[in-house]
Amino acid sequence: GAVVSQHPSRVICKSGTSVKIECRSLDFQATTMFWYRQFPKQSLMLMATSNEGSKATYEQGVEKDKFLINHASLTLSTLTVTSAHPEDSSFYICSASEQDYNEQFFGPGTRLTVL
Amino acid sequence: GQNIDQPTEMTATEGAIVQINCTYQTSGFNGLFWYQQHAGEAPTFLSYNVLDGLEEKGRFSSFLSRSKGYSYLLLKELQMKDSASYLCAVLDSNYQLIWGAGTKLIIKP
């Protein structure tokens, strides 16, 4: 089956630092990758959608300068949380699909804690 | 606006059957997904319905009625490991995935 990995699985950082999260599709080429954020006891919130080689499409209310997304290849997308603050602490999950609008396969998630 | 409604929490007994309902109001419809999410983990795919009717997959079945904007996930022979949140998500006319808040299912022995 389609496998998506995320790294790191857990990160604790100081306020003001930047954190990079990697999302990789291990056994398929991901045309589209999605980045979600999930706060405790809440549903997934889509942050942005990215296609390989093009700029990401950000959802309303998501600051593109704060959450930098790079979809450099068909198997790798990165999310960089710049100048992280405690309110950015959350569970970040990526997903990938082989074709546009196809089933999304989720990575295991990254728990970010900003002190 | 777009809206997905599902119960916040349900409780069921091990070995029993439970039905989790989902109603939706979206701009267009290109399919409905059910995902399972254990606490602290990412969602895992359970089912996809785009045509009316029942899709059965082992202990899990999913039903869709497009005219009623309604779906349900049926879990049979419940096991303790089925304790999780179940997320309903609809693909709208722009192929955006609209997520419900999830139903937390608690299984009691």
In three-state form (DSSP H/G/I as H, E/B as E, the rest C), the secondary structure along chain A is: CCCEEEECCEEEECCCCCEEEEEEECCCCCCEEEEEEECCCCCCEEEEEEECCCCCEECCCCCCCCEEEEEEECCEEEEEECCCCHHHCEEEEEEEECCCCCCCEECCCEEEEEC
Q: How far off is chain A from B108, nearest CA to CA, in Å?
A: 20
Share of chain B above pLDDT 90, in %: 78
Judge whether B50 is closer than 8 Å to chain A, CB to CB.
Answer: no
Residues of chain A with confidence (pLDDT) below 50:
none
Mean pLDDT of chain A: 90
B43/A107 CB distance under 8 A: no
pLDDT digits (tens, 9 = 90+) for A86-105: 999 999 999 998 875 567 88
Band (B67; pLDDT cuts 50, 70, 90): very high
Top-confidence residue, A31 or B85: B85
- CB-nearest partner of B42 from A100, A103, A109: A109
